[in-house]
């Protein structure tokens, strides 16, 4: 089997696993406190990755701790991002939440460039410009579909729809900033595994306090079911990131971008299988427009990369 084929398999695995994560989380939070879930699942993730970092790369842990302000920024942004992410998939259709958050990320990166941030990205050709414009139109369309209750699911009325859309937008913006500060940690000498574990510490603490205060009152599942939910949640957080890391090393950016752009469709299909979310033709149209924009933007990025070489 060729490296390209293996890369395609890893990329498809990432898309399927991440899609399953959105659908599973959206359904789970209809019957369980999202803060309790986050405390247990990300607490387990933090303990595992920080423990491994202390044993395998203690120098990286010391470097991270020697930069408390940078580490604090990473933790605060990660905490806010997870609150936004978990809240959005709880309130609106998972496929819509995913698409809005994903689409906001490249637009935020472009905005950071024009604001003078070195980590921002400029649009390098007309194809990239067109692709990002189409992505922006898709986001606006999906927002309108959700606000007018034409999507497959909203947990409540117009206020819930507005809050869900706002949280999805915030998720995309915050995750972009998280990538920026994680890049700065990497440049300082802290590897991906150490950063991945240490960036959740503040969220775990906050989620534990909020779960204990019952800010979002919800019944606690029986112990057997709770263990299963936590185990499955952990399995849907870590493996997708590993699959993406493997795919990046084996296939081109254009190919990876085109495959990951199918994520909303995979979520849409899984929603049908799950049966909780109603099917919405308008949502599917919005996802199709997003897919077209994402492929155009990826093609523009690949062309710019080739020209630079």
Give the pLDDT confidence of 84-98 residue by residue, as tens digits: 998 999 899 999 999
pLDDT value for 283: 94
| pLDDT tens string 252-293 | 656 666 778 888 989 999 998 888 888 899 999 999 999 999
Please determine, for residue 166, whether its predicted confidence score (pLDDT) is greater than 70.
Answer: yes
- Give the mean pLDDT of 134-154: 95
Categorize the per-residue pLDDT at 70 as very low, low, confident or very high, splitting at 50, 70 and 90.
very high
- From CA 184, how far away is CA 76, in angstroms rounded? 15
pLDDT value for 164: 96
pLDDT value for 267: 92
Taking CA atoms, 212 is separated from 5, 206, 216, 218, 220, in Å, by 47, 10, 10, 12, 12
pLDDT value for 71: 95
Please determine, for residue 302, whether its predicted confidence score (pLDDT) is greater than 80.
Answer: no
Cross-strand partners of 92: 154
Q: What are phi and psi of 92, to 5 degrees?
A: -130, 175
Please determine, for residue 296, whether its predicted confidence score (pLDDT) is greater than 80.
Answer: yes
Task: Give the residue carrying structure tokens 């949502």.
Answer: 283
pLDDT value for 198: 92
CB 203, CB 38: distance < 8 Å: yes
DSSP one-letter code for 220: P
* Average model confidence (pLDDT) across the chain: 88
pLDDT value for 243: 82
**H-state helical runs in 148-280:** 158-187, 192-198, 201-213, 223-235, 238-248, 253-260, 263-274
Taking CA atoms, 17 is separated from 4, 43, 238, 278, in Å, by 20, 20, 10, 22
pLDDT value for 196: 85
pTM value is: 0.88
Tokens of residue 4, six digits = 């390209």
| pLDDT tens string 209-226 | 988 887 666 778 888 888
């Amino acid at each position: 089997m060729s490296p390209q084929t293996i890369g395609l398999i890893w990329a498809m695995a990432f898309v399927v696993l991440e899609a399953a994560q959105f659908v599973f989380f959206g359904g789970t939070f209809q019957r369980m406190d999202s803060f309790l879930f986050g405390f247990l699942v990300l607490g387990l993730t933090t303990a595992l990755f920080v423990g491994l970092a202390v044993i395998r790369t203690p120098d990286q842990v010391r470097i991270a701790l020697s930069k408390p302000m940078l580490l604090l920024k990473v933790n605060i942004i990660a905490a806010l991002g997870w609150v936004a992410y978990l809240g959005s998939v709880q309130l609106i259709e998972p496929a819509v939440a995913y698409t809005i958050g994903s689409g906001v990320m490249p637009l935020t990166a472009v905005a950071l460039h024009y604001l003078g941030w070195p980590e921002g990205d400029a649009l390098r050709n007309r194809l990239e410009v067109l692709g990002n414009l189409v992505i922006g139109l898709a986001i606006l369309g999906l927002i309108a579909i959700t606000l007018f209750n034409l999507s497959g699911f909203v947990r409540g009325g117009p206020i819930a729809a507005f809050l869900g859309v706002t949280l999805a937008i915030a998720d995309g913006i915050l995750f972009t900033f998280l990538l920026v500060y994680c890049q700065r940690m990497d440049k300082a000498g802290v590897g991906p595994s150490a950063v991945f574990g240490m960036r959740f510490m503040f969220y775990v603490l906050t989620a534990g306090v909020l779960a204990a205060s019952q800010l979002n009152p919800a019944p606690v599942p029986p112990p057997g079911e709770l263990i299963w939910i936590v185990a499955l949640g952990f399995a849907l957080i870590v493996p997708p990131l590993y699959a993406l890391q493997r795919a990046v090393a084996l296939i081109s950016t254009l190919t990876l971008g085109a495959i990951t752009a199918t994520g909303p469709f995979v979520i849409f299909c899984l929603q049908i299988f799950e049966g909780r979310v109603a099917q919405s033709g308008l949502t599917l149209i919005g996802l199709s427009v997003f897919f077209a924009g994402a492929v155009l933007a990826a093609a523009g990025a690949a062309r710019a990369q080739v020209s630079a070489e």
